[in-house]
Structure 1
Amino acid sequence: MDCKGSDTMTGPRTEDRLPPTAETAVKIVIVGGFGVGKTTMVGSVSEIRPLTTEETMTQAGIGVDDDFGSPTKTATTVAMDFGRISITEQLVLYLFGTPGQERFWFLWNGLFEGALGAVVLVDTRRLESSFDVMGKLEERGVPFVVGLNAFPDAPRHPVDELRTALDLSEDIPIVECDVRRRASSRDVLMTLMRFLHSLAMTGALT
């Protein structure tokens, strides 16, 4: 999803150093297939100027990188996106967006290290691109929630049908979102934090 039309902070962002009230910093990864909106989500919600590693897409990517749903996409993440958001005065989330193309997935292992949880962004026009992503998280034991990013021409399905199609258990939250909007992206992160809290309360989060 292109950043055009997304919420961006018009004033200066906060300083890069942690606020003095911060007591806990948590690493969260934003994952998903190519062009699902990971860079846009990090950029819309980050309270600091986000770090991106986007490079211009070239002819060399034809036949290698699938631009499905993003015919106007001209750049792609080749390493990671990074941002930060304070959930409360005490709790800060460090956000790491992963590259979507399969040829860059070797970088995921390092990005997953130390991650408490993840957001899997899904484009309902191509659910199949999410299967390997969720499989990798499950293999590493990283809890995750699913964000259904609202593309204008994407089909809408009942959540129960999508849960079945994605082969997700009943306990994994699924939330509709528009990652261009800061409030919507923040809601997804809050859903993840509540999910992680519930796992911790039941002893399922180690």
Structure 2
Amino acid sequence: MTEPLTPVTAAPTAAAPTAVRPPLPVKMVIAGGFGVGKTTTVGSISEIEPLTTEAAITEVAAGVDDLTHTPAKTTTTVAMDFGCVTIDPTLKLYLFGTPGQERFGFMWDDIVEGAVGGLVVVDTRRLDDCYAAVDYFEHKGIPFAVAVNAFDGKVEHSLEDVRWALDVSEGVPVLVFDARERGSVRDALLVVLEQALARTEG
């Protein structure tokens, strides 16, 4: 009597790996006047070594740029700052910081092209320096938020006073943040993302 045949079964195989999509790249601009903390903002949150185009402030430039409130500043951005941060597995922000001086304004269109929104960094001791950035985003119709940098942990004016002085609408968020703190910068960037998303859904 012969033994019954045992059915042959295929050897178990590992499950096919699920394709993982790379995070969606999103461009955002960090803007504002001279010495307000744009380079610091990018550097605080970037997950890569930020690319900066810092040049030494010469005696000629010092005579043009107001160093009253930033006497220790020895360099300035002459083209742009660049960094990036992964917000979550689906989204990666590419951050482009603009130069603050008006004489470098001709580069703004190239830097801002394709951006979903902007964070306008403000020093309340020198609000006049930020008018150009606010006007630029308003004129281009790009969503933005105004972020008051808390130098030495404090601001000189209330947020309502800042809103009034900059003449921004109620639809533009005005907030306080610390450009040196990663978590604070992240929260400010998320506000801009919310503005951009609301504009898209609207």
TM-score by length of 2: 0.86
Q: Is the 8 A contact 1:99 1:105 kept in 2?
A: yes
User: What letter corresponds to residue 36 of structure 2 in structure 1?
Assistant: V
Paired residues of 2:178 and 2:184 also in contact (CA < 8 A): yes
Which structure 2 residue ranges, 5 or more long, are not aligned? 1-19
Cα drift, residue 155 of structure 1: 4.1
Partner of 1:96: 96
Q: Distance between the aligned counterparts of 1:77 and 1:68, measured in 2?
A: 18
Corresponding residue for 1:187?
187
Show the counterpart of 2:53.
53
The answer as to 2:138 corresponding to 1:138 is yes
Q: What is the DSSP-based 3-state SS (H/G/I as helix, E as strand, rest coil) of the residue aligned with 1:83? A: strand
> Structure 1, residues 130-185: CA drift from partner, whole Å, max 9, x if none?
11111111222211001000012864333222211111111111110001011111
RMSD of aligned alpha carbons? 1.5
Paired with 1:84 and 1:172, the residues of 2 have a C-alpha distance of 24
From the CA coordinates, give the structure whose radius of gyration is larger: 2
Letter in 2 for 1:37: G
Write the letter of the residue equivalent to 1:27: K
Give the corresponding residue for 2:110. Answer: 110
Contact map agreement 2:27 2:115 (CA 8 A) in 1: yes
Summarize the Cα distance change of 1:69–1:154 in structure 2 as closer, same or farther, 3 Å threshold: farther
What letter corresponds to residue 141 of structure 2 in structure 1? G
What secondary structure does 1:152 align onto? helix
Question: Which amino acid letter does the alignment assign opposite residue 127 of structure 1?
Answer: L
What displacement does 1:65 show? 1.8
Distance 1:68 1:199 in 2: 38
Following TM superposition, where does structure 1 have runs of at least 4 consecutive aligned residues deviating by more than 4 angstroms?
none
Q: Which residue of 1 aligns with 2:147?
A: 147
Moved more, 187-196 or 151-160: 151-160
SS at 1:87 equivalent: strand
- What secondary structure does 1:39 align onto? helix
Residue aligned with 1:82, SS: strand
Whole-angstrom CA distance in 1 between matches of 2:183 and 2:154: 21
Alignment of 1:1-206 (within 5 A): 21-152=21-152, 155-202=155-202
C-alpha spacing 1:94/1:153, structure 2 compared with 1 (3 Å): closer
Q: Secondary structure at the match of 1:84?
A: strand
Residues 89-111 of structure 1 deviation map (CA, whole Å, 9 limit, x = unaligned): 11011000011111111111110
The count of aligned residue pairs is: 183
CA distance in 1, matches of 2:96, 2:109: 12
